């Protein structure tokens, strides 16, 4: 699926704005971020909506429109600007390009030409932005980091990892982090965070064809840590409303609004889980030093390795290391799995259970616990930062390769 391109459009004439708007809405990869009918207000609209691309119709007032293009270019020299006019003569085109427009289309705009122009603008922007602040996957800051969390058996710690990882990431003011509970039947992310959301994934899926930015943002419930949550459906029968193709579109749109997405998956490998994994940058497989769990990691890796691009995203997280119940060593586990253990989380029953019972994340309930610090270290490592808090910990809990 294409990356979503968030577009802001300005055209004072209703007669031309409507068809242009409808054309844009027909492009699968386009998200209409903002629409404006006054050239004078558009600078503010663009500042607030931070679009990936702007479309400026010139015909209502060429002079004002070209002035606006100049202002936008001065403010953000890399902003992709597409100018549209029914006057396709050389002078009009030159005027728009000299003011700073990167592309020009003659109205009435044809869909194929629009798509090609948007594609060129996207490619040029990616090249001119360069690669800044890369995370574990080599993504640049402009792209979101998508992490799926899947367990190798029930109760292995997926939801605990997902919630606390999300809250840890949300502490960075530059990040916009959302967690989607894809354990559609029995998920409990809302309970763990003690949230009673108004909307669920079922509402979003049902409205997928007419989703707009405001509706999508309103559908997520914000926790005081800064983490936004999209919970699983309340009614079990609503699960059937959520198809994997809906989810693909929802994930695409969420990527346009959030810098970090975390999916708490079911343990059933159903189509929605697979769609989420395919659209993720990283798949954290949570395991424990226990026979069934390790055997299932081997089976999961075997299945994922069969699909191109899936197996290589997997990172194994060993949870509850140090538990008395285990007599399998980390070395033995690594040998069995045939893959390095990316991260180890200590067993800390009291902190985990206390946080669960209090409906709070570890950062609030047990901020000094080793398991919290280790999860912050994991969040930092995934975001391409140094795993700073981990340094205070015993080395053995922070092997990362």
Ligand X SMILES: Nc1ncnc2c1ncn2[C@@H]1O[C@H](COP(=O)(O)OP(=O)(O)OP(=O)(O)O)[C@@H](O)[C@H]1O
Figure out which of the listed residues 51, 80, 151, 377 binds ligand X, where binding follows CB under 6 A: 151
Figure out which of the listed residues 12, 80, 157, 197 binds ligand X, where binding follows CB under 6 A: 157
User: Rounded to the nearest whole angstrom, what is the least distance from the CB of residue 180 to Mg ion in the complex?
Assistant: 13
319 binding ligand X? (CB under 6 A): yes
159 binding ligand X? (CB under 6 A): yes
Looking at beta carbons only, is 157 or 361 nearer to ligand X?
157
Looking at beta carbons only, is 110 or 353 nearer to ligand X?
353
Contact yes or no for 341/333 (Cβ under 8 A) = yes
177 binding ligand X? (CB under 6 A): no
- Greatest alpha-carbon pair distance for the chain in Å reads 79
- Angle 20-25-29 (CA atoms, 0-180°, nearest 5)? 120
Figure out which of the listed residues 16, 135, 148, 159 binds Mg ion, where binding follows CB under 5 A: 159
C-alpha–C-alpha distance, residues 341 and 335, integer Å:
10
Looking at beta carbons only, is 10 or 179 nearer to Mg ion?
179
Of the ranges 75-83, 127-135, 150-158, 392-400, which one interacts with Mg ion (CB under 5 A)? 150-158
Q: Which does 111 bind (CB under 5 to 8 A by kind): Mg ion, ligand X, none?
A: none
Q: Which of residues 258-317 bind ligand X (CB under 6 A)?
A: 267
Residues 6+ apart with CB under 8 A from 32: 7, 9, 21, 24, 25, 212
Contact yes or no for 332/338 (Cβ under 8 A) = no
Figure out which of the listed residues 250, 262, 352, 373 binds ligand X, where binding follows CB under 6 A: 352
- Angle 214-252-119 (CA atoms, 0-180°, nearest 5)? 105
190 binding ligand X? (CB under 6 A): no
C-alpha–C-alpha distance, residues 117 and 105, integer Å:
8
Number of Cβ atoms within 10 Å of the Cβ of 338: 10
Of the ranges 62-70, 193-201, 215-223, 347-355, which one interacts with ligand X (CB under 6 A)? 347-355
Q: Which does 168 bind (CB under 5 to 8 A by kind): Mg ion, ligand X, none?
A: none
Q: Which does 255 bind (CB under 5 to 8 A by kind): ligand X, Mg ion, none?
A: none
Looking at beta carbons only, is 50 or 353 nearer to ligand X?
353
User: Rounded to the nearest whole angstrom, what is the least distance from the CB of residue 300 to Mg ion in the complex?
Assistant: 16
Q: Which string of x and - marks every residue 34-53 that binds ligand X (by CB under 6 A)? A: --------------------
Q: Which does 353 bind (CB under 5 to 8 A by kind): ligand X, Mg ion, none?
A: ligand X
Q: Which does 371 bind (CB under 5 to 8 A by kind): ligand X, Mg ion, none?
A: ligand X
Looking at beta carbons only, is 100 or 157 nearer to Mg ion?
157
C-alpha–C-alpha distance, residues 271 and 290, integer Å:
27
Looking at beta carbons only, is 21 or 153 nearer to ligand X?
153
154 binding ligand X? (CB under 6 A): yes
C-alpha–C-alpha distance, residues 71 and 101, integer Å:
11
Q: Which does 154 bind (CB under 5 to 8 A by kind): Mg ion, ligand X, none?
A: ligand X
108 binding ligand X? (CB under 6 A): no
Looking at beta carbons only, is 87 or 356 nearer to Mg ion?
356
C-alpha–C-alpha distance, residues 322 and 163, integer Å:
22
Contacts 24+ apart (CB under 8 A), 215-223: 216/253, 216/254, 216/257, 217/257, 220/178, 221/190, 221/195, 221/197, 223/167, 223/193, 223/195, 223/361
Rounded (10°) angle between helices 370-382 and 158-170 = 70
Counting DSSP H helices and E strands in the chain, the numbers are 16, 13
Closest CA to 107 of 189, 39, 13: 13
Strand partners, 145: 260
* Total residues at interface with ligand X (CB under 6 A): 20
3-state DSSP call for residue 316?
Answer: strand
C-alpha–C-alpha distance, residues 212 and 196, integer Å:
23
Figure out which of the listed residues 120, 222, 356, 385 binds ligand X, where binding follows CB under 6 A: 356
Contact yes or no for 248/1 (Cβ under 8 A) = yes
Looking at beta carbons only, is 117 or 355 nearer to ligand X?
355
Can you give the binding site for Mg ion, defined by CB under 5 A? 158-159
Q: Which residues bind ligand X (CB under 6 A)?
A: 151, 154-160, 183, 267, 319-320, 345, 347-349, 352-353, 356, 371
């Amino acid at each position: 699926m294409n990356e979503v391109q968030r577009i802001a459009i300005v055209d004072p004439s209703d007669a031309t704005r409507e068809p242009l708007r409808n054309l844009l809405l027909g492009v699968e990869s386009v998200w209409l971020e903002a629409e404006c009918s006054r050239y004078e207000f558009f600078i503010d609209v663009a500042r607030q909506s931070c679009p990936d691309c702007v479309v400026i119709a010139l015909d209502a007032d060429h002079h004002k429109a070209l002035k606006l293009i100049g202002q936008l270019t001065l403010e953000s020299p890399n902003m992709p600007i597409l100018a549209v006019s029914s006057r396709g003569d050389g002078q009009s085109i030159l005027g728009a390009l000299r003011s700073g427009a990167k592309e020009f289309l003659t109205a009435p705009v044809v869909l194929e030409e629009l798509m090609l122009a948007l594609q060129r603008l996207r490619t040029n922007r990616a090249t001119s932005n360069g690669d800044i602040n890369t995370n574990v996957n080599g993504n640049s800051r402009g792209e979101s980091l998508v992490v799926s969390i899947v367990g190798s058996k029930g109760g292995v710690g997926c939801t605990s990892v997902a919630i606390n990882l999300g809250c840890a990431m949300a502490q960075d003011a530059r990040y916009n982090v959302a967690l989607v509970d894809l354990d559609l039947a029995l998920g409990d992310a809302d309970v763990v965070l003690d949230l009673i959301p108004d909307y669920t994934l079922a509402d979003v899926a049902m409205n997928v064809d007419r989703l707009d930015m405001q509706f999508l943002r309103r559908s997520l419930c914000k926790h005081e840590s800064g983490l936004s949550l999209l919970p699983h459906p309340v009614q079990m029968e609503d699960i059937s409303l959520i198809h994997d193709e809906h989810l693909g579109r929802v994930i695409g749109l969420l990527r346009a609004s959030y810098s970090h997405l975390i999916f708490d998956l079911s343990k059933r490998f159903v189509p929605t889980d697979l769609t989420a994994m395919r659209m993720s940058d990283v798949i954290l497989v949570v395991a424990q030093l226990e026979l069934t769990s390790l055997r299932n990691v081997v089976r999961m890796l075997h299945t994922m390795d069969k699909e191109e691009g899936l197996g290589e995203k997997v990172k194994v997280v060993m949870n509850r290391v140090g538990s008395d119940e285990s007599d399998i060593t980390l070395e033995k586990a690594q040998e069995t799995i045939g893959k390095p253990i990316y991260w180890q989380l200590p067993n800390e029953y009291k902190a985990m259970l206390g946080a669960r019972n209090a409906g709070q994340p570890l950062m609030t309930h047990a901020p000094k616990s080793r398991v919290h610090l280790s999860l912050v270290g994991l969040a930092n490592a995934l975001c391409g930062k140094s795993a700073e808090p981990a340094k205070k910990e015993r080395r053995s809990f922070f092997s990362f390769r």
